[in-house]
A and B are shown apart, each in its own frame.
Chain A
C-alpha cells in the first residue's frame, strides 16, 4: 500500500548542477502537485498537473520544470540548482478536481544546494 512515493529522500547538489525529483502514485489519482516547504512558510505550490497531459504553474515556479510522464508519475526538474532552492520538496495527489478531496502526500525529499 505505497500511496505516493518520492525518490530520492535526500540529495546534496552543488550550485549549477541539475537533477530530477521523481514522484509516483499508485492510487489512480488524476491530479498531482509539487510543493516546497521552507521554515515558517508552510507549503508553497511549485507546479501541478490537473490530469495526465496537463501542467500548470503554481506560486513559485521559477527555476523548475515538470513532466507528467503518465497518470502515475510526475517529475520535478531543477535545471541549474541554486542555494535558494534548498528546501524540502513534497509531491501530492488527489483523486479528482473537486474541493472536498484531500491531498495524499509523499514523505518528502530533503534537498541541499551548496
Chain B
C-alpha cells in the first residue's frame, strides 16, 4: 500500500494567490516526521518544511505552512502569495521513528504559477 499519497499530479495557481498541495500518509507508528521538498526544473531537491507527529502547532516557514491534521493523516502544504519561482515539483515525504532510516516519498505534484 502507498504510504504517501499525493492526489494532484498537476496544479495551477495565479501569481500572488495561495495554493494548497495535498498529502495523505499511512503509518501505525506514533512517532514520525513529515517533510516537504521542492524540486525546480534544475533538478535539485530543496527541503521546505518539517512537521513532527507530536507537534501541536502547524509548522510555518516564511510563505510555507503545513496544515497538519493528525486524525485524518494529512499534511497539506500551503504556499501563500505564490511567485513565478514557485513553479516546481513538490514532494511530500515521511520518516517513521521505528523505521528511522527510511524516508518514503510521494509521487509529487507539479505546480505551475501563472503570471
Q: Which residues of B contact A33 (CB under 8 A)?
A: 101, 103
**Chain A neighbourhood of B93, CB < 8 A:** 43
- Does B91 sit at the interface, judged by CB under 8 A? yes
Q: Which residue of B lies closest to A32 (CB)?
A: B101
On chain A, the number of residues with a Cβ less than 8 Å from chain B's Cβ atoms is 27
- CB pair A56–B100 under 8 Å, yes or no, is no
CB distance from A27 to the nearest CB of B (A): 13
The answer for the CA separation of A101 and B97 in the assembled complex, in Å, is: 11
State which size class the interface on B falls in.
20 to 34
**Nearest CB of chain B from residue A76's CB, rounded to whole Å:** 16
User: CB-nearest residue of chain B relative to A40?
Assistant: B107
Cα distance A44–B106 in the bound complex, in angstroms: 9
Are A42 and B33 interface neighbours, CB within 8 A? no
The interface bits of chain A over 60-97 (1 if a CB of B lies within 8 angstroms of the residue's CB, else 0) are 00000000000000000000000000001010100001
For the complex with contacts A42-B107, A101-B33, 6 further pairs of A-B residues with Cβ separation under 8 Å are: A33-B101, A41-B107, A43-B93, A44-B105, A45-B102, A99-B52
Which A residues have a C-beta under 8 Å from some C-beta of B?
31, 33, 35, 40-45, 48, 50, 56, 58, 88, 90, 92, 97-105, 107-108
